[in-house]
Amino acid sequence: MISIKDIASLINGELNGDPDFIIKGACNLQNGKKHHITFLDSPKFTKFIDGTCASAIIIRNDYIIKDSNKIFIKVKNPRIAFAKVLEKFKNNEILEPKISDSSFIDKTAKLGKNIYIGNNVVIKKNANIEDNVVIESGSVIFENCNIGYNTYIGPNVTLNYDTKIGSNVHIDAGCVLGADGFGWSTLDKKQKKIPQIGNVVINDDVWIGANCCIDRSTFESTIIGKGTKMDNLIQIGHNVIIGKNCLISGSTAIGGSTVIGDNVTIAGQVGIIDNLNIGDNSIIAAKSGVFKSFKSGSFISGIPAKNHNDRKRQEVLITKLPDLNKRIKNIENFLNNKDQIVD
C-alpha cells in the first residue's frame, strides 16, 4: 500500500484530491477497483471515467477535470508514469546472491560479485559472469561466453559458445542463443552443411522474450543492437544485424544476413527473407511478407510487402474492378453492334 501523494511524487505529477488516500494496487480503466489507480492517455477512453471503480486516475496535463469523485494526477505522459507505478506493485521475488549446490561450474569460469545461480545450471570453460547477474535453473552457458553486469538469464536458457551478452539484458525462459545457423549448399542433389563458426552478440539494454532463437553467424557475429526489445517466439537467422532501439513483436522470423536499421518497428507474425536491408525508422505491419529491401522511414504492409499508402490506393482500385468490367463489356457490345447491355 502507498499513499496517493507518494505516487504523485514518484511520477512527478500534479495531485488533485486527498493526499493521504491509500492506494492498494493498479488496475485498468474499464474494470477498475476501489483503492486502485489506473491511467487515461487517450480522449476516446474518457467515457469510462464515471463508470470505473478505480479511485485514482493518472491523466495528461491538458485534461480538463470535470465534477468527479475521483482523485487525479496530471502528468506529461500517463502511460510512462503508470509504468513507474506498476513497478511499485510488481511482485518481484528478491533473489539473494547464491550458487546452488546442484549447479556445475567449470574451474576456469570467472564469477563476479552478488550473483545468483539456480539449480542445475551448467557453466562451461572460460565463461565470464559479471557482477549482479541472475542465471535461473536449468540454463547452460557454453565455453567462452560473457554475461554482462546486471543481466537476467531466465530458466532453461542456452547460450552456445562465444555468445556475448551486454549489461542490463533480460533473456526470458527457453531462449537459445548461438545455435548453428541454417547454412546448407546443394551438391549432387544432396544437402551439404556449411559450418557456422561465428557467434551472437547482444548489446546493452536488450530484452528478449521467451522461446526466442538467435542463430550464430557463419563467420563474424549475429548482432542485436542496444536497447532493442523482442517479444516471444522470434527467430533471428545467421548473420542478421538488428539496429538500436527496435521493437519486434512475437512470431516474427528474419532470414539470414538481413540488416534491420535503428528504431524499426516490426509487428507480429512478420516474415522477412534473407539478404535484405530495412532502413532506419521503418514500420512493418502485422503478417507482412517482406521480399525486397526498403529505404529509411518506410511504412510497409501486406504479402508481398509494399508501401502501405500504395497498397491502400491499389485496394481502392480493386473494389472498382467489377464496375470497370461491366463498362468494358458494354463498350465491346456497342462496338460489335450488339443490343445487349450489361447491368
- Domain encompassing residue 137: 98-308
DSSP string, 284-342: E-TT-EE-S-B-TT-EEETTTTEEHHHHHHHHHHHHTHHHHHHHHHHHHHHHTT-----
List the pLDDT tens digit at each of the 343 positions of the chain.
899 999 999 999 999 999 999 999 999 998 889 999 999 988 888 888 888 999 999 999 988 877 778 999 999 999 999 999 998 887 656 678 999 999 999 999 999 999 999 999 999 999 999 999 999 999 999 999 999 999 999 999 999 999 999 999 999 999 999 999 999 999 899 999 999 999 999 999 999 999 999 999 999 999 999 999 999 999 999 999 999 999 999 999 999 999 999 999 999 999 999 999 999 999 999 999 999 999 999 999 999 999 998 888 888 888 888 888 888 888 888 888 765 655 6
> Where does a domain end: 60, 89, 118?
89
**Is the domain of 321 the same as that of 214?**
no
Structural domains of the chain, count: 3
- Last residue of one domain, picked from the residues 89, 122, 143: 89
Residues 251 and 268 in one domain: yes
Q: Are residues 146 and 277 in the same domain?
A: yes
Report how far apart, in Å, the C-alpha atoms of 30 and of each of 16, 40, 47, 79, 261 are.
21, 10, 10, 16, 38
Helix residue spans in the chain (DSSP H): 4-10, 78-89, 308-319, 321-335
Q: Residue 134 forms beta bridges with which residues?
A: 116, 152
Say if residue 330 is in the same domain as residue 303.
no
In this structure, the answer to whether residues 21 and 162 fall within a common structural domain is: no
The catalytically annotated residue of 35, 170, 238, 308 is 238
Backbone angles phi, psi at 141, to 5 degrees: -110, 110
Q: Do 157 and 270 fall within a single domain?
A: yes
- In this structure, are 237 and 167 located in the same domain? yes
Contact 68, 51 (CB under 8 A): no
Q: CB under 8 Å to 96, separation ≥6 — which residues?
A: 116
In angstroms, what CA-CA distances link 29 with 2, 50, 121? 19, 10, 42
- Entry pTM: 0.84
Tell which residue, 256, 206, 255, has the closest CA to residue 231.
206
238 annotated active-site? yes
137 with 49, same domain: the answer is no
CATH of the domain at 269: 2.160.10.10
Instruction: For residue 48, give the CATH number of its domain.
Output: 3.40.1390.10
